[in-house]
Amino acid sequence: MDFSHEELVEVVERLVNGLLERAGVAEPPVDALHIAEVHLGIPVEVVESTEEDEIAPPAHFPGRGRARPRGRAGAPPRTPARNRRRGVGLVLTADMTPAQRQKAAAESIARGLVPAVLHKLGLPPDAANRPFVTHLCGLIVPRLLVPTRLLRSALRVQKFDVAALGREFATATTEAVALRLLDLEEPCVVSIVDDGVVTVRRSNRQAVGRKLGPAEQLCHDRVAELELPHRVRQGGWSVSGWFVPDRPFRRILLRATWDDTV
């Protein structure tokens, strides 16, 4: 395909910003379910889940949402939500958390934006194969729940306090907000550590492995001990860490920078 990743991201950013502007979203948090149902007219249905329909909580993009009972007496039996979600509209299961509903709504919006992205890139409709659509949704969903423009504005007040940013962008997880920092120009390394095991460690400057550096490990250990935010400066690194509550494991977020950066 004759376009760069940067050009693709620019198209996605413009389309997301235009959608949010039309929906009247001027500050966080972004209610993706409201946008989907009210502004885009996407039919939303809540169905009872079955054991095989249970959906694991999304790792990085839960948030707030609203349950709205749909359906009527005498309606025909419903097919499993996981199968029906491929059809028209947005099908939610009754046991989904508000966070899962927000992510599902954002994914539904993202799929609806795919034709516009293809058009802007000068691509034919048949270019929307499954891998490309998955890639596009992976770009759109986080930018919808944590829009770049609103994130930059929040940074002017909250700086790089990931916990405070997470409270502002309450329809996304704190993890999602932390990972969005990698899409900005400021060089950093973001890590997610679960029960002492590094599950994510990414940098927007250079390739990094899963092993924490000495300063990161020291910060992690201190946060794990106190379950409070902590900051460490050591060996040319500055590391901030936060404990993420309400998870089924001890999750700690780390943001590390080189001392000649932010």
Structure confidence by residue, pLDDT tens digits, 21-30: 999 999 999 9
Fold classification of 5-145 is Arc Repressor Mutant, subunit A (1.10.10)
Evaluate if residue 142 carries a pLDDT over 50.
yes
pLDDT given for residue 125 in this prediction = 87
User: Tokens for 94?
Assistant: 């009754």
- Coil, helix or strand for 160? coil
* Section 98-109 average pLDDT: 91
- Mean local confidence (pLDDT), 111-139: 92
pLDDT in the model for residue 49:
74
pLDDT at 100: 85
Stretch(es) of the chain classified as CATH 1.10.10? 5-145
Give the model's pLDDT for residue 1.
Answer: 61
pLDDT value, residue 88: 58
User: pLDDT tens, 34-67?
Assistant: 999 999 999 999 898 765 554 344 444 333 333 3
Who has greater pLDDT, 76 or 203?
A: 203
253 beta partners: 192, 242
Write out the two tokens for 138: 């992976």
**Would you place residue 3 in the very low, low, confident or very high pLDDT band (cuts 50, 70, 90)?**
confident
Cross-strand pairs, 121: none
pLDDT at 103: 92
Q: How confident is the model at residue 262 (pLDDT cuts 50, 70, 90)?
A: low
User: What percent of the chain has a predicted confidence (pLDDT) above 90?
Assistant: 72
Decide the pairing of beta strands 237-244 and 189-194.
unpaired
What pLDDT is stored for residue 54 in this prediction? 47
With 0-12 / 13-18 / 19 or more C-beta atoms within 10 angstroms meaning exposed / middle / buried, residue 178 is buried
Task: For the chain, give the mean pLDDT.
Answer: 86
Do 115 and 128 touch, CB atoms closer than 8 A? Answer: yes
Label residue 96 by pLDDT band (50, 70, 90).
confident
Whether 79 has a pLDDT exceeding 90, the answer reads: no
Q: Which residue intervals of the chain bear CATH 3.30.450?
A: 185-262
pLDDT of 174 above 90? yes
Of the chain, the percentage scoring pLDDT greater than 70 comes to: 84
Q: What is the pLDDT of residue 51?
A: 58
What is the four-CA torsion angle of 39, 42, 47, 50, rounded to 10 degrees?
A: -120
Measured between alpha carbons, how far is 110 from 104 in angstroms, rounded to an integer? 10
pLDDT for residue 180: 97
Which residues make Cβ contacts (< 8 Å) with residue 218, sequence separation at least 6?
232, 234, 239
How far from each other are the two terminal CA atoms of the chain, in whole angstroms?
35
Buried b (16+ CB within 10 A) or exposed e, 108-132: bbbbebbeebbebeebeeeeeeeeb
Provide CB contacts within 8 A for 195, sequence distance 6+.
249, 250
Confidence of residue 127 (pLDDT cuts 50, 70, 90): confident
pLDDT value at residue 76:
33
- Contact at 8 Å (CB) between 235 and 247? no
Question: What's the pLDDT band for 168 if we cut at 50, 70, 90?
Answer: very high
Residues 6+ apart with CB under 8 A from 122: none
Residue range 185-262, CATH number: 3.30.450
Cα 32 to its chain centre, rounded Å, is 12
